[in-house]
Amino acid sequence: MGRSRSRAVYSALDLGTNNCRLLIARPARNGFRVIDAFSRIVRLGEGLSQNGALSEAAMTRAIEALEICARKIRRRQVTCMRAVATEACRSATNREHFLRRVKAETGLNLDIISAAEEARLAVIGCQALLDPSFRDALVFDIGGGSTELILVRRSSPDRLGIRGWISIPFGVVNIAERFGLGRLHEEDVAAIMTLVREEMEDFRRQMGNGAAVGEGELLLLGTSGTVTTLASLALGLPRYDRSRVDGVWLAPTEMRRLAYEVALMDHEARRRQPCIGDERADYVAAGCGILAAILDAWPASRLRVADRGIREGILRGLMGISHLEPSRRRARGGG
């Protein structure tokens, strides 16, 4: 590693529909070493599905978090950075107004990325967890305003290619606003699963021709707050611990059972769970309905959990350490 590169400081900022996340890192022999991080639930997409625009309160929450990110970036003397925004900003009618406010108040230039780029970055960020014993893997990211599914095939021990991807227009925020933030009933969960299944059906049929997909010899790799939260519950953790959750293997049947159980909890019961708490209690039930639909539609022998994603994908891309071939196919879908 050259001296100039080793001195470089990189940052990746991901402003999603629900969260604002930042990583600052230096290159290291096996990838990168994180030197600072930040994450905050900002609910940027709150009310967006009803109004079509970002609310004043939501924009203010996001900008307050972005100001903290900007200070960290300056303090760490970042030399190369990328800041992206996803579904909420893609779909908001007042996105340009919001971007101008962000620039004026924080100095940050947000890049609204396409659903295709979001899917690509998620795979790059998680690629180290794609077990080489599996030829095919479905990477899925349950976001706030959309859910991305990407079918990945390993072409050689160190090369991955995207066979196809889809972005469906359902995430934890818009599903929760549609079905309510309190207790979901069995018919609500069934309705959520039906919505998601219908959006996935064409993609599943197009991608299901390979033997690995059709026979269940498929690795599922989930990256989202819903999946990491459920993993922490499955492990019985008294508090969230990334080192225990990131990369853990779980049985899809167990995750399906747990997702359904959490989806049917009342709000207070969810809030009392040590790894859910106040911040996630509103939206995790909606995410559980989406996850259950994915697990039903994509039979798999193993499920792996990733507490990593777009930010790590940005960093690997900036540092030139990605090994992902370009996507050749997109199925019908949102985004």
Candidate CATH numbers 3.20.20.150, 3.30.420.150, 3.20.20.100, 3.30.470.30; the one for domain 116-313: 3.30.420.150
Is 3-113 a CATH 3.40.50.10110 domain? no
| Number of residues that this document lists for the chain | 335
User: CA–CA separation, 35 vs 13, rounded Å?
Assistant: 14
The rounded distance, in Å, linking the Cα atoms of 49 and 51 is 6
Q: Is the pTM of this model over 0.85?
A: yes
3-state secondary structure (DSSP) of residue 224: coil
Element spanning 204, H or E: helix 186-207
> What is the rounded average pLDDT for all residues in the chain?
90
CA distance 209 to 114: 27
Report the C-alpha gap between 293 and 171 in whole angstroms. Answer: 13
**Residue 80 Cα to chain centre, angstroms:** 23
Distance of alpha carbon 279 from alpha carbon 195, whole angstroms: 25
Domains 3-113 and 116-313 share a fold: yes
Cβ–Cβ < 8 Å for 108, 69: yes
145-197 tens-digit pLDDT? 999 999 999 877 778 899 999 999 999 999 999 998 778 899 999 999 999 99
Residue 1: pLDDT over 70: no
Task: Using DSSP, state whether 63 is helix, strand or coil.
Answer: helix
How many Cβ atoms from other residues are within 10 Å of residue 68's Cβ? Answer: 14
The gap from C-alpha 311 to its chain's centroid, in whole angstroms, comes to 10
Distance CA(63)–CA(68), nearest Å, equals: 9
Write out pLDDT tens, residues 132-145. 888 899 999 999 99
256 and 226 in contact (C-beta within 8 Å)?
no
Do 169 and 270 meet the contact criterion of CB atoms below 8 Å apart? no
**Which class for 196: exposed (0-12), middle (13-18), buried (19 or more C-beta within 10 A)?**
buried
Expressed in angstroms, the distance from the first to the final Cα of the chain is: 38
Would you say 63 and 43 are in contact if contact means Cβ atoms under 8 Å apart? no
Number of other residues whose CB lies within 10 A of the CB of residue 111: 13
d(CA 16, CA 62): 10
> How far is CA 122 from each of CA 77, 198, 229, 314, rounded to the nearest angstrom?
26, 23, 18, 9
> Which tokens in the block code for residue 144?
């706030």
Give residue 333's pLDDT: 43
Predicted local distance difference test score (pLDDT) of residue 183: 80
What mean pLDDT comes out for the span 39-64?
95
Could you give the CA distance from residue 282 to residue 172 in angstroms, rounded to a whole number? Answer: 9
Locate the domains of the chain by residue range: 3-113, 116-313
Confidence of residue 325 (pLDDT cuts 50, 70, 90): low
Span 61-77, pLDDT tens digits: 999 999 999 999 999 99
Structure tokens belonging to residue 255: 């995750």
Tokens 């018919």, residue located = 187
Residue 20's Cβ-side half-sphere holds a number of Cα atoms within 13 Å equal to 22
Distances (CA, A) of 29 to 1, 62, 126, 131, 171: 8, 34, 18, 21, 36
Name the percent of the chain lying above pLDDT 90. 76
